[in-house]
Structure 1
């Protein structure tokens, strides 16, 4: 647990420092370090000079490479696709959501038991799994994501760095959030806060109070224009306020007080009075994604038992969407326990409940009845280890149909490729994956599957070249170089393969040297990735 906590400190919580506050209680408390915070500065050339949009994006991508390697990153295709579809819809609803940098947003989830969300430099927005479970409606989720989009759109990173050199700020930010991450350890928190760092932290966070209010205002506009119930923001703020009381005793003393929540709730309530009430009917997919998050939050025996108990209680709800979500969740739990017949039976039950309910509620948007999410779990069951050859063959047929029905669903495309490999069709898998890689070059999973397909064909050089691309895209440049070295020694490497290896090695070695120099300049150890 100590190692896991340190990794979370380094990879996840670093992000909040750049945006001076997230939705969670720790960040709200952080904003209380200075009660006399001045108004937000006007963005000008100084801010742009200190952190250009290009540098902002680069910084976010660098942090994301670390996050993707973290064991708590929820690399779950249905969750990622839902969050990005949902988040993209929010961004599209508000003309100013992309800000002056025309931010390209990416939404993702991490496994964490605390209610929180955060924004990284460059438009990367993360959501804790506990927050997905705590959000009772899509309007509440929209209030959180809208708030984080507001941070990005208003360039709060550049505002923070306006009076500081980024080389000095980054290690300071890491120390601040090390204290927050280690709030269960008084010794760690005291060590970080010692040596006069408290005054430096205050200088960095002078604008935090206004930044949070500004993000609230932008989030409120996004919610309203996106067709969501704006009262969901007040409801969720209230839940955060309650949760913050539970967390406060674990925080460093200087970070415990955070009355901002009450002020922010009052501000949003005043805004709601000026907006006509608009009811938003949630999509079924929201409940299915929450069910997946509950199961993936804790895969231990105890965690699955607790998830089962929660789903069994949820089944008693009078709300049909809740019932379907619970049945879907129980099917997912059974799959995690390798109880394949039970998983299939419960998934069939969920689908039957959905058929009986058709027409009883509006789905709001095309495809939001959860068909793709149902298909993903059905394929996981049919393609699971231990299934018969006949069941896996049926899984291949189902995967092909699902990919045809949802051609943009990246998870289903990967499942189709995996089904081809499992059913002894590596040639077809290779052709399909090469086409996919041409369209989605930056997707590590495709290169991983391509490596697997090449291995099934006995093509060793191509197998390790594909694996090198997977590692490079995941931030492991040294590991990628190691794979290229293996590919070079493979007996089946063609002249073209060798030329490709040479070119890629030169590129990766240059990037690797830059990494080493940056680590040395920042005074941190090089991890030899």
Structure 2
């Protein structure tokens, strides 16, 4: 589904989807073990802060709203969360379009990965090692513990402390500037504390990695490659600024990895398809350079790797409107794996670009027969209906999709387009209002719903629904404002 490969764009918050947040299966059975921060910041308050900052991120960062990539990283994250200890919040995993190598985690179980990670991680286990590390930061409540440490050294309010700490992890210099009462001693204390957190996250992340069936050696391998590549760089990537890699940390991770059962992990086709999709559509390189990269990789690729590389080439050809070339590459891939959602999504893009709407719908309906609740397939089908001008059908489907996946910006954007095209102004305003709310732009959201309420019949069900939503948004706006005090 190509429509939403363009990213949306107040505050970058903590360093190192459209799917429902991920929970560990044992979440409800976990006891409240307590931490040094338990009296300072409850888990419930962490979730509130996390939701608020996630909304800010949606409005300020180029989040990748790609259904297939979102599904992939959410699935990868879920497999790790299911094998993590001390999980006390839902988890949500998402991508930010940024070639810099970085990942970060923040309150409420939010984990962000830069697309640049896919350009440097050479296996799924390497990517999983970064995600497992971030999950450990959250399960060990490192942010909450760091906030308590800072609270002893500065008179800042809770909201100011949370904001400055998150900034400090995302961009250390910005964070230090934000905490105006910070002394040189407390800065050094914060740095030392963060290094301690990093080692703890490595240790616990390795355990999660092993339990999840990944190669534990991927963590020291990835660390070593990063350190060697940027050892003498005048401007290291953000990952090394926020995740310092001294030799002691690399040695420690290598030593710990050797203590786990060694296993050979087979190549992950899904990872390499996701990587090819990132390179084709989110790496910021032109089509000629992308095709050249895929061709060079194909010369030395195994048959399994060649499939993902040809998939990536096909995406580039679709985006550059070379449809015959794209079709020749995609057709055999789809024929061999007709339920592979990477291929289904690409075939949809190809058909829509050529206005072959009936062929696309037939293919998607066949896939939905066995996967009726899959968000990627549902969104693709509604996308085709919108592009085919079948707006009434699309609206019915999208109302169901947005009800099931309310944080899915793709669904709301498509619904707004369908309502606008059908001339239903109040529906378009309401759909846009939900997009505003997901960005924490409460005033605009309330204003949109107010206009929508005025456009519909007095006393109608639509008006009652819009007015009720206005009341809900005002409550959310008040809670949001309270967090900033």
Normalised TM-score (structure 2): 0.84
Take 1:241 and 1:403, find their aligned partners in 2: how far apart are those partners? 45
2:50 corresponds in structure 1 to 60
Change (3 A) 1:49 1:248: farther
Change (3 A) 1:513 1:219: closer
Change (3 A) 1:121 1:438: same
Kindly indicate whether residue 288 of structure 2 is the aligned counterpart of residue 305 of structure 1: yes
347, 355, 358: which one aligns with 1:393: 358
Shift of 1:11: 3.5
1:342 corresponds in structure 2 to 325
Change (3 A) 1:434 1:258: closer
Take 1:134 and 1:89, find their aligned partners in 2: how far apart are those partners? 22
Take 1:191 and 1:181, find their aligned partners in 2: how far apart are those partners? 6
SS at match of 1:107: strand
SS at match of 2:95: strand
2:66 corresponds in structure 1 to 76
Shift of 1:222: 1.1
1:215 corresponds in structure 2 to 201
Take 2:179 and 2:470, find their aligned partners in 1: how far apart are those partners? 43
Structure 2, unaligned stretches of length 5 or more?
1-7, 17-32, 152-156
Kindly indicate whether residue 429 of structure 2 is the aligned counterpart of residue 464 of structure 1: yes
1:30 corresponds in structure 2 to none
Take 2:179 and 2:423, find their aligned partners in 1: how far apart are those partners? 56
Shift of 1:71: 5.1
Q: Does the CA contact (< 8 Å) of 2:68 and 2:342 recur in 1?
A: yes
1:373 corresponds in structure 2 to 342
Shift of 1:450: 3.0
Shift of 1:306: 2.5
Change (3 A) 1:78 1:197: farther
Shift of 1:402: 2.8
Change (3 A) 1:129 1:246: farther
Normalised TM-score (structure 1): 0.77
Change (3 A) 1:259 1:475: closer
1:170 corresponds in structure 2 to 162
Structure 1, unaligned stretches of length 5 or more?
1-6, 17-21, 23-42, 183-188, 356-366, 522-529
Q: Does the CA contact (< 8 Å) of 2:172 and 2:242 recur in 1?
A: no
Q: Does the CA contact (< 8 Å) of 1:68 and 1:474 recur in 2?
A: yes
Superposed counterparts of 1:488-499, under 5 Å? 488-490=453-455, 495-499=460-464
Which whole-Å deviations, capped at 9, do the CAs of 1:279-335 have from their partners, x for residues lacking one? 111221111100111123344xx5433322211111112312321121111111122
Kindly indicate whether residue 373 of structure 2 is the aligned counterpart of residue 414 of structure 1: no
Take 2:423 and 2:68, find their aligned partners in 1: how far apart are those partners? 32
1:128 corresponds in structure 2 to 114
Take 1:194 and 1:55, find their aligned partners in 2: how far apart are those partners? 24
SS at match of 2:98: coil
Misfit runs of 4+, over 6 Å: 189-196, 255-259
Take 1:293 and 1:464, find their aligned partners in 2: how far apart are those partners? 32
Change (3 A) 1:248 1:258: farther
Take 1:464 and 1:348, find their aligned partners in 2: how far apart are those partners? 40
Change (3 A) 1:11 1:331: farther
How many residues are aligned here?
Answer: 456
